[in-house]
Structure 1
Amino acid sequence: MSKLADNLTQVQARITAACQQYHKTAPLLLAVSKTRSAAEIRALYALGIRHFGENYLQEALDKQQELTDLAIVWHFIGPIQSNKTRAIAENFDWIHSVDREKVATRLSVAVPSGKSLNVCVQVNIDHSPTKSGLLPEQLTPFLAECLALPQLSIRGLMAIPDPGEGNAQGQAFQALAKCLQQAQQSFPGAPLDTLSMGMSGDLELAIAAGSTIVRVGTDIFGARANKT
């Protein structure tokens, strides 16, 4: 518990320093809890964190069952298989990794009545052939399709840039911010206010570019446990 508290304090200090340096509003700190135990999540919740991100559906569902007494906001940040959309829509508040029309449509159909599911569209900002996500030039028609789907609240964009030399990552984050600005101009009535970008090693660069959600796992929980 003491180590977790120390790690969290250090991450929060980095966020505060970056916001002061770049004159930015503090982003939401999303604790990436994949492969971590329910007990660790409970301990971090006691330290004030309310938003947790999971990559693996069954692992997340098991932990959610153990933590029903806590008012956690659950984010799904991993790849989405189309046959898992119902379980994801029913058990998560945010989805950060939508990049296919089929998945968006199935999520929309599966959202329980009276609930609105917050969605970020994943962007392959580096044009990498090995990465998931839409290319920037594909965003406008895809957003138009998603914004027409009921019970989905399309909130913004997510990306995981490749590590790069110099300011390559910073440039990628700036490029994603520009994509969001263009989307806001194309769809002025949409609630497009979110940039989910930045992790343990690059959160300062992401904040400089205007990140509104930073996804931090290792620097809070320590070295990642192996997935079983």
Structure 2
Amino acid sequence: MIAAWRSVIERAQAAAAGRSIEVLAVSKTRPAQQIRTLAEAGQRAFGENYVQEARGKQTGLSDCSIEWHLVGPLQSNKCADVAGHFDWLQTLDRSKLVALLARYRPESMPPLNVLIQVNIDDESSKAGCNPEEIATLAHAVGKEPRLRLRGLMAIPAPATDMALRRKAFSRMRACFETLARQHAGIDTLSMGMSDDFELAIAEGATMVRVGSLLFGPRGRE
């Protein structure tokens, strides 16, 4: 696993060609010991899909210096848990969650880093807002001092034709650049997974979410 992790880091850095790039280890369904192994090797950021599963891991790994990201859909009844125990939320997709997250973010913690999830391919089965809704959500987040808007996240359709994925990544980059012109502090474009992260980086990703290449195959992360 350590060798696989080092390989992914090297490939990501090579694709970035000198730009800053972060690899998020997607650890959903993976045991805490595997997370600990990577954390001790130097991996800091880990992504979880399910709040309850993540909370158990956070308790068992409290002695590790880990930056926790929620990368799965967020329900309103989980906002308090996310605001109180995560460093990043990558899946904000509707306005009603903003006030709840801000209300529950403890004053003792830094502002919660937030990415707006965009349904860039307009898939009915996938979460995320439409590109036209980004500005409204960004404005809502920007008014909350307990939240910090950092950028955008997307999971393009898993097309077998990589040219179609490239087009989706390119559209996301355009959305990201527009958002960056409108708001200060926008620095994160999270897109690309195990089978396409180098393509995503070539199209402007600053963070990629990699699971199966690090931990072994267990469904699409």
When the two structures are superposed, what TM-score results if normalisation uses the length of structure 1?
0.91
Which of these residues, 3, 7, 11, is aligned with residue 10 of structure 1?
7
C-alpha deviation, 1:13, in angstroms = 2.5
Which residue pairs with 1:123 in the alignment? Answer: 118
Q: Aligned match of 2:46 in 44, 52, 57? A: 52
Aligned partner (choices 166, 169, 172) of residue 165 of structure 2? 169
1:184 is matched by which residue type in structure 2? A
Matched to 2:125, the amino acid is T
Indicate if the aligned counterparts of 2:115 and 2:149 stay in contact, CA closer than 8 A. Answer: yes
Query: Contact 2:13 / 2:21 at 8 angstroms: preserved in 1?
Result: no
Q: Where does structure 1 lack aligned partners over 5 or more consecutive residues?
A: none
- 1:86 matches 2:83: no
136-145 vs 27-36, greater mean Cα deviation: 136-145
SS of residue matched to 2:148: strand
Q: Would the aligned equivalents of 1:90 and 1:112 in 2 still touch at CA under 8 Å?
A: yes
User: Partner of 2:145: helix, strand, or coil?
Assistant: coil
Q: With structure 2 as the length reference, what TM-score do the two structures score?
A: 0.94
Cα distance in 2 between the residues matched to 1:144 and 1:44: 36
Shift of 1:186: 2.4
* Alignment partners' CA distance in 1, 2:11 and 2:137: 35
Give CA deviations for 1:155-209 in whole Å, capped at 9, x if unaligned: 000000012224111111111111011112223xx21111011110010111011
Report what 1:179 is aligned to. Answer: 175
Say whether 1:150 aligns with 2:156.
Answer: no
Q: What SS class does the counterpart of residue 165 from structure 2 fall into?
A: helix
Instruction: Write the deviation string for residues 102-147 of structure 1: whole angstroms up to 9, x where unpaired.
Output: 1121101110014210000000111122211111111112211221
The amino acid that maps onto 1:155 is R
Secondary structure (helix, strand or coil) at the match of 1:167 reads helix
Structure 1 CA distance, aligned partners of 2:217 and 2:186? 34
Taking the aligned partners of 2:180 and 2:35, their CA distance within structure 1 comes to: 35
Q: Residue 26 of structure 2 is aligned with which of 32, 53, 70?
A: 32
Aligned partner of 1:203 among 186, 197, 201: 197
The question of 1:108 aligning with 2:102 is answered yes
CA contact (8 A) 2:83 2:105 kept: yes
Aligned partner of 2:16 among 11, 16, 19: 19
Higher RCO, 1 or 2 (CA under 8 Å, sep at least 6)?
1
Runs (5+) with no aligned partner, structure 2: none
CA 1:158–1:107 in structure 2 vs 1: closer, same or farther (change >3 Å)?
same
C-alpha root-mean-square deviation of aligned residues, in Å? 1.3
The SS at the match of 2:103 is helix
Moved more, 135-144 or 8-17: 8-17
TM-fit CA distance, 1:11: 1.1
Which deviates further from its counterpart, 151-160 or 131-140?
A: 131-140
After superposing on structure 2, the runs of 4+ consecutive aligned residues of structure 1 that deviate more than 2 Å are none
Count of aligned pairs = 217
CA distance in 2, matches of 1:64, 1:219: 22
8 Å contact 2:39–2:65 — kept in the other structure? no
Which amino acid in structure 1 is aligned with residue 14 of structure 2? A
